[in-house]
């Protein structure tokens, strides 16, 4: 996924009201940018961080910049737009680049399932069980090369795990696909201390047969793409 408009560097001044962030551009101008991330952004919104913004001239948008990338040091970056993983996965599924799901050619998105949910992707192929795929954005890192999820309590995420387990019980495949939007991680684990309920739901879903898959990303001011599968620690 390439950015439509060349990104510009900026220094983060503050992030506030979840969707707003103030920056100083290289020419000294201060601008307000849309922050496309409603989460806690633990470790990613430190004032003074060098970031990359995407300009736009769309008259329908209130803000002329969107925050896309934060630099992490030592040449590493993180993507902060939580809508990116689903776009990456959609493209990768169509191109057969997710090995665990490459046997499927039929693809639908936002399909109702469970009690009140919509699965991110429903995959179908003749002579194969349907595959229900939920995608989660990951950007927390606290120790070594370990990416972690979630970065705050997510009742919705726990519900998705229960609903995926129900799909397995009905004879389908179910896959929880974690996408790590940072370049400094080589393994994935649950942040059990931040949300014990989610961790317990994850364990129960794995016993029930839900698959857990994790991919990291290649990130630069030019674009973001899926890179490789990384181990899921349990």
Answer yes or no: is 3 within a domain.
Answer: no
Question: Taking a C-beta distance cutoff of 8 angstroms, is the pair 209, 202 a contact?
Answer: no
In this prediction, residues 8-14 reach a mean pLDDT of 98
Domain coverage including residue 52: 8-75
Number of domains in the chain: 2
Residues 190 and 99 placed together within one structural domain of the fold? yes
Residue 190 lies in a domain: yes
Residue 200: inside a domain: yes
Output the pLDDT for position 58. Answer: 80
Contacts of residue 69, defined as CB under 8 A and 6 or more positions apart, other chains included, come to: 7, 51, 52, 77, 78, 79, 80, 219, 221
1 in any annotated domain: no
The verdict on 108 and 155 lying in the same domain is yes
pLDDT of residue 96: 95
Smallest CA-to-CA distance from 120 within 129, 108, 110 is with 110
What three-state secondary structure class fits 85? helix
Same domain, 56 and 156: no
Per-residue pLDDT at 39 exceeds 90 = no
Whether the Cβ atoms of residue 143 and residue 101 lie closer than 8 Å to each other: no
Q: CA 68 to CA 35: how far, in whole Å? A: 8
177 vs 161: CA distance, rounded Å: 11
Indicate the pLDDT class of residue 57, thresholds 50, 70 and 90.
confident
CATH number of the domain encompassing residue 209? 3.40.1350.60
pLDDT digits (tens, 9 = 90+) for 115-145: 888 999 999 999 999 999 999 999 999 999 9
């Amino acid at each position: 996924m390439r950015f439509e408009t060349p990104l510009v560097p900026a220094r983060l001044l503050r992030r506030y009201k979840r969707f707003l962030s103030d920056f100083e551009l290289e020419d000294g101008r201060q601008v307000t940018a849309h922050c496309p991330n409603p989460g806690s952004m633990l470790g990613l919104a430190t004032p003074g961080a060098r970031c990359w913004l995407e300009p736009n001239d769309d008259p329908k948008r209130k803000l002329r910049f969107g925050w896309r990338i934060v630099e992490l040091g030592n040449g590493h970056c993180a993507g902060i737009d939580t809508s990116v993983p689903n776009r990456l996965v959609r493209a990768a599924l169509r191109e057969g680049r997710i090995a665990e799901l490459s046997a499927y050619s039929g693809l639908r998105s936002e399909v109702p399932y469970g009690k009140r949910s919509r699965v991110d992707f429903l995959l179908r192929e003749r002579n194969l069980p349907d595959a229900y795929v939920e995608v989660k954005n990951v950007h927390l890192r606290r120790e070594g090369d370990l990416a972690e999820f979630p970065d705050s309590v997510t009742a919705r995420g726990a519900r998705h795990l229960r609903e995926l387990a129900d799909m397995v019980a009905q004879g389908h495949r179910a896959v929880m696909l974690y996408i790590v939007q940072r370049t400094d991680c080589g393994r994935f684990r649950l942040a059990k201390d931040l949300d014990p309920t989610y961790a317990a739901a994850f364990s129960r879903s794995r016993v029930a047969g839900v698959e857990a898959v994790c991919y990291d990303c290649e990130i630069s001011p030019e674009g973001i793409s899926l890179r490789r599968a990384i181990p899921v620690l349990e």
